[in-house]
Amino acid sequence: MNNIEMIRMQINYLVTQARHDIYTLSTLSDTSMKPQILQRLWDALSTIHFLSDWLANQAKTSSHNLSSQPSIPGLSGALYQSQIPPITPLPTPPISQSNQRTFTIGELATFTGKNGRPAYVAVNGIVYDVTNNRAWAAATHFGLIAGKDYTQEFASCHAGQQSILAALPVVGRLV
Amino acid sequence: MPPESLTNEAIAERLTSTALKSLKKGTIKKKNLIYLELNGCSGNIISLLNGQNPDFEYTLNSMVDLKFCNSLMAAEGERAIEKLIKAMDEEYILAVEGAVALKNNGLYNIIGNWQGKPLTGLQAAQMLGEKASHIFAVGACATHGGVSAAKPNPSQSVGLQQVLPNKKMIKLPGCPVHPDWFLGTLAHLLLYGEPETDNLDRPLMFYSTLIHDRCPRRPFFDRGIFAEKLGEKTCLFKLGCRGPVTRVDCPTRQWNGHVNWPIGDNTPCIGCAQFGFPDAMAPFISYDTTRVVKNE
């Protein structure tokens, strides 16, 4: 089965699910379920949108290259499962102990997230990767730029919120 | 099908139409409103004028009695200020747009003359704020200083709360505020009292979800597919999109009569409804994060 056919199957599945969700919403007496169903509907629509854009791109490029179709990231595994898993953000890469390198403040300053480089910041002596962190768009966060030690700033803004740091991939230590 | 529309605009529409009906039936009473424009660009009143049919001025006048509004009232000069002072004799709701300029005791922002003396925005904000039954801080400048307080802030502008530290107020950030956010909150106040707010005094019914969580381009973010330049239809995160930190309902509400919104038009969210805008949201666009520059 080629990629396009699988995408079509996925879209059909999502449309069926969306129809069912709309029917469920129309007959719902227990309103506590409503937000979840609406969320699933939203996700289904977003994915249909994503897939249709992808198909349109394929149609555009297929005239140039009919033989090879690149696989679509993050979807191929899901197509064979009976249940479509919800969309979840990309998992943070596992922290390998061998990757625990040390940084001087000068070295850290080169990881600004500019020109394709990763974006790192340090808090309490630990260097974290914020390249794909959603609060660090364009490697900046509320006026702060990546590549610096933000121990003070973190304490003044997110004191006690260790969960923020726990969710970030660690890349090393600041020496 | 669900009996009533569940869209975001339907919520504000339902609130305003219910308020208008209740006023007609006499179940709720009209209140007076003073709409004060201080140090800013008048962008919020312009945005409000861009509201739906029936037009904003009609909606506003039929929901409340608009006693003073720098831009909309017919009176001018000292006669306008006279109306403002007179309006203080009765109970009123105060809505303020624009920041409060502190420099030279407020002389950087004069809203009119009263008894031969200049009336500063600072005086007006404090005088009217102390007596108001409810206060709305409308738009980025009023809620936290906004563009008026951007560096280097020559007028020493601050948000309204700073000159009325002990007064409770409803904050509606945004540059400008969406007509629905203001009219919806006003209608809620008339119908049911103050709406539920978050810890930053923003009404939850409009400011509870992140733009990122309702973004139609979210699947691209989740799969790590980022636009490298404006115009591309994928996630604008690497160009500096502030949707992931901005809490408001733009993706589903949309602007200009619910027609479109920034990301729908291929530009990143600049976080205008976030506290700290614009300085803390800069850079608005960045072209050197994903693109690899040669010889560097």
- Verdict on whether the full-model pTM lies above 0.95: no
Q: Is pLDDT of A38 > 60? A: yes
Tally of structural domains, chain B: 2
- ipTM metric: 0.78
Task: Tell me, yes or no, whether B162 and B19 share the same domain.
Answer: yes
Task: Tell me, yes or no, whether B173 and B103 share the same domain.
Answer: yes
Q: Which domain holds residue B274?
A: 211-281
Task: Tell me, yes or no, whether B238 and B193 share the same domain.
Answer: no
Task: Tell me, yes or no, whether B182 and B37 share the same domain.
Answer: yes
Q: Would you call B288 and A53 a contact, using CB atoms and an 8 Å cutoff?
A: no
Task: Tell me, yes or no, whether B245 and B101 share the same domain.
Answer: no
Distance CA A53, CA B97 (A): 41
Residue of chain B whose alpha carbon sits nearest to that of A28: B2
Distance CA A126, CA A120 (A): 10
Of B143, B171, B203, the position where a domain reaches its end is: B203
Task: Tell me, yes or no, whether B182 and B277 share the same domain.
Answer: no
Please tell me the predicted confidence (pLDDT) of residue B99.
98
Please tell me the predicted confidence (pLDDT) of residue A63.
64
Mutate to test the interface with B, among A72, A142, A156 (most CBs of B within 10 A): A142
Of B181, B203, B225, the position where a domain reaches its end is: B203
Mutate to test the interface with A, among B289, B290, B292, B296 (most CBs of A within 10 A): B289
Q: Domain A102-174 is classified in which CATH homologous superfamily?
A: Cytochrome b5-like heme/steroid binding domain (3.10.120.10)
Task: Tell me, yes or no, whether B142 and B32 share the same domain.
Answer: yes
Looking at residue A88, the DSSP 8-state letter turns out to be -
Please tell me the predicted confidence (pLDDT) of residue B226.
92
Task: Tell me, yes or no, whether B153 and B217 share the same domain.
Answer: no
Domain CATH for B222: 4.10.480.10
Residue of chain B whose alpha carbon sits nearest to that of A45: B216
**Using one digit for the tens of pLDDT, what is the confidence trace for B64-113?**
999 999 998 899 899 999 999 999 999 999 999 999 999 999 999 999 99
The residue extents of the domains of chain A are: 3-60, 102-174
Distance CA B270, CA B22 (A): 38
Task: Tell me, yes or no, whether B256 and B194 share the same domain.
Answer: no
Contacts of residue A113 in chain B, CB cutoff 8 Å?
289
B67-76 long-range contacts, CB within 8 A, separation 24+ = B67/B32, B67/B33, B67/B34, B67/B92, B68/B34, B68/B35, B68/B36, B69/B34, B69/B35, B69/B37, B69/B45, B70/B35, B70/B36, B70/B37, B70/B42, B70/B45, B70/B111, B71/B37, B71/B42, B71/B45, B72/B35, B72/B45
Distance CA B280, CA B145 (A): 12
Task: Tell me, yes or no, whether B60 and B198 share the same domain.
Answer: yes
Of B187, B203, B219, the position where a domain reaches its end is: B203
Over residues B131-148, mean pLDDT: 97
Cβ atoms < 10 Å from Cβ of B200? 12
Contacts of B60 (CB under 8 A, 6+ apart): B33, B48, B66, B183
Of A171-175, B59-63, B167-171, the range with the lowest mean pLDDT is: B59-63
Over residues A93-117, mean pLDDT: 80
Is A167 touching B (CB cutoff 8 A)? no
Residue B293 lies in a domain: no
Q: Would you call B240 and A138 a contact, using CB atoms and an 8 Å cutoff?
A: yes
Q: Is A45 exposed, middle or buried (0-12, 13-18, 19+ CB in 10 A)?
A: middle
Query: Residue A161 — pLDDT band, cuts 50, 70, 90?
Result: confident
Residue B25 lies in a domain: yes
Contacts of A171 (CB under 8 A, 6+ apart): A99, A101, A118, A120, A127, A128, A129
Average pLDDT, chain B: 91
Contacts of residue A42 in chain B, CB cutoff 8 Å?
214
Q: Is pLDDT of B42 > 90? A: yes
Cite the beta strand spans of chain A per DSSP E: 101-103, 120-123, 126-129, 140-141, 144-145, 170-174
Residue B1 lies in a domain: no
Domain CATH for B158: 3.40.50.700
How much of chain B, in percent, has pLDDT values that exceed 90? Answer: 72
Task: Tell me, yes or no, whether B188 and B219 share the same domain.
Answer: no
**Using one digit for the tens of pLDDT, what is the confidence trace for B1-30?**
345 566 666 778 888 888 889 988 988 889
Please tell me the predicted confidence (pLDDT) of residue B53.
62
Task: Tell me, yes or no, whether B261 and B141 share the same domain.
Answer: no
Of A50, A115, A143, the CB nearest to B219: A50
